[in-house]
């Protein structure tokens, strides 16, 4: 394995009835900006629990952060936070609210202007951020235990990842019972998202990192095991607990230490969301199986390992590589998630637009920096064929 440095200071508070612990995890006397999304927290009782737990704190609210949170919306929260001189931000919701909150956290104390370029595109090495915590209501993105986020811009149909060591939540409260009323499509998306996060960090080339590989395989096997259960009954506490914790460790850094990462599927997927508004997780499902086929030669060793260790298959190398693609495709489809971009009406025009963007940006994604504009065109063509 390669040299690595790792530090993840997030405090995880996991389990039933843990939202009540909010008050002892926010600095006494803090003026708190509570951020949330479309209002599901009013229906599932989470808002009431948060308000009860924050009795004694001055609380300001900012709702309406959308899935794929936009710079335009988030800047309104930044202005509110600055005007109200808030001390702490509490994200209540899923990964989109939390990703948006990370941007708000960085932007509120930032005095250099042009927050899109400086904070989202990372041109500034900002030195402070407003502290924040999270109540997570959707297992999916892993944002609750990492320091990254993904922000979209409506104006230009762009979507970019951002991050800083300053943007770890102070704490994240994960109560699996908050997920019981999620729409089924969000459960499916969460499973697909977490699964793909692991694949991005695992399905590259072997570097003899035994712990990292076995942990990654353990997360994949857990997701595969719980997926049909939580799709059938999302009110089983044990199953939802396993799903929720799997989604967190899928992207909290533990499985990626000293190993190569891919992330090309995410980069291509972000364009499909930016251009067509397709749910993030669903864009991953229309890219990864085709990227696996496109890179089947240089991902061969890991694809064989994946077929054997994760899916318990045997066969010739070629059979295992083919099975790896097939099983991955079937996993997404089992969640009701298509694996062809054509299922969303996407055609050659979008392929060419993304090719053009990647050509302009001179991108080279993937663990071997071999996913450029031409490779992306080839992968997307398979997805619309």
Greatest alpha-carbon pair distance for the chain in Å reads: 64
Helix spans in 203-316 (H): 210-232, 237-249, 264-276, 280-285, 288-294, 300-309
88 belongs to the binding site for a copy of itself (CB under 8 A)? no
Q: Which of 11, 17, 12 is nearest to 175 (CA)?
A: 17
Q: Which of 115, 185, 133, 141 is nearest to 25 (CA)?
A: 133
Q: Which of 190, 85, 204 is nearest to 136 (CA)?
A: 190
Among 123, 214, 356, 361, binds a copy of itself (CB under 8 A): 214
- Of 86 and 226, CB closest to a copy of itself: 226
301 belongs to the binding site for a copy of itself (CB under 8 A)? no
For the bound state, the minimum distance from the C-beta of residue 145 to a copy of itself, rounded and expressed in Å, comes to: 9
**What is the size of the binding site for a copy of itself (CB under 8 A)?**
40
- CA dist list (Å): 120 to 68, 109, 111, 151: 13, 15, 15, 7
**SS3 state at 151:** strand
Among 22, 78, 226, 288, binds a copy of itself (CB under 8 A): 226
Determine the length of the chain. 385
Q: Rounded CA gap, 309 and 139, in Å?
A: 24
256 belongs to the binding site for a copy of itself (CB under 8 A)? no
Q: Rounded CA gap, 339 and 383, in Å?
A: 7
For the bound state, the minimum distance from the C-beta of residue 246 to a copy of itself, rounded and expressed in Å, comes to: 6
Q: Which of 119, 75, 67 is nearest to 95 (CA)?
A: 67
For the bound state, the minimum distance from the C-beta of residue 4 to a copy of itself, rounded and expressed in Å, comes to: 5
| Interaction residues for a copy of itself, span 170-209 (CB under 8 A) | 208-209
* Segment contacting a copy of itself by CB under 8 A, of 16-24, 68-76, 129-137, 270-278: 16-24
233 belongs to the binding site for a copy of itself (CB under 8 A)? no
For the bound state, the minimum distance from the C-beta of residue 231 to a copy of itself, rounded and expressed in Å, comes to: 16
Among 31, 258, 300, 308, binds a copy of itself (CB under 8 A): 258
For the bound state, the minimum distance from the C-beta of residue 84 to a copy of itself, rounded and expressed in Å, comes to: 29
147 belongs to the binding site for a copy of itself (CB under 8 A)? no
**Site residues (vs a copy of itself, CB under 8 A):** 1-18, 208-211, 214-215, 217-219, 221-222, 225-226, 238, 241-242, 245-246, 249, 254, 257-258
């Amino acid at each position: 394995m390669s040299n690595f440095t790792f530090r993840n200071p997030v405090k995880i508070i996991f389990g039933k009835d843990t939202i009540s612990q909010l008050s002892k995890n926010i600095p006494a006397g803090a003026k708190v900006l509570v951020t949330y999304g479309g209002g599901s927290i009013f229906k599932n009782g989470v808002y009431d629990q948060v308000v009860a737990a924050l009795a004694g704190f001055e609380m300001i609210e900012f709702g309406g952060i959308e899935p794929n949170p936009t710079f335009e919306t988030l800047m309104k929260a930044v202005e509110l936070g600055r005007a109200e001189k808030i001390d702490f931000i509490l994200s209540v919701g899923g990964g989109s609210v939390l990703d948006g909150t990370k941007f708000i956290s960085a932007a509120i104390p930032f005095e250099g202007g042009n927050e899109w370029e400086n904070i989202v595109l990372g041109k500034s090495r900002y030195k402070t951020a407003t502290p924040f915590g999270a109540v997570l209501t959707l297992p999916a993105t892993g944002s609750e235990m990492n320091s990254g986020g993904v922000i979209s811009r409506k104006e230009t149909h762009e979507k970019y990842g951002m991050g800083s060591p300053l943007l770890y939540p102070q704490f994240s409260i994960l109560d699996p019972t908050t997920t019981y009323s999620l729409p089924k499509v969000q459960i499916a998306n969460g499973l697909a998202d977490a699964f793909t996060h692991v694949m991005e960090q695992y399905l590259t080339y072997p570097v003899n990192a035994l712990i990292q590989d076995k942990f990654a395989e353990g997360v994949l096997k857990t997701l595969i095991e719980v997926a049909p259960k939580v799709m059938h009954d999302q009110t089983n506490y044990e199953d939802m607990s396993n799903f929720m914790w799997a989604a967190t460790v899928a992207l909290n850094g533990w499985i990626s230490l000293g190993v190569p990462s891919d992330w090309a599927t995410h980069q291509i997927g972000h364009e499909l969301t930016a251009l067509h508004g397709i749910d993030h997780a669903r864009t991953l499902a229309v890219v990864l199986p085709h990227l696996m086929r496109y890179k089947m030669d240089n991902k061969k060793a890991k694809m064989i390992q994946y077929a054997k260790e994760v899916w318990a298959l045997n066969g010739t190398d070629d059979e295992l590589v083919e099975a790896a693609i097939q099983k991955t495709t079937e996993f997404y489809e089992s969640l009701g998630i298509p694996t062809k971009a054509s299922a969303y009406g996407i055609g050659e025009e979008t392929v060419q637009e993304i090719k053009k963007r990647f050509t302009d940006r001179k991108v080279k994604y993937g663990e071997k920096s071999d996913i450029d504009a031409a490779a992306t065109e080839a992968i997307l063509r398979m997805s619309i064929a």
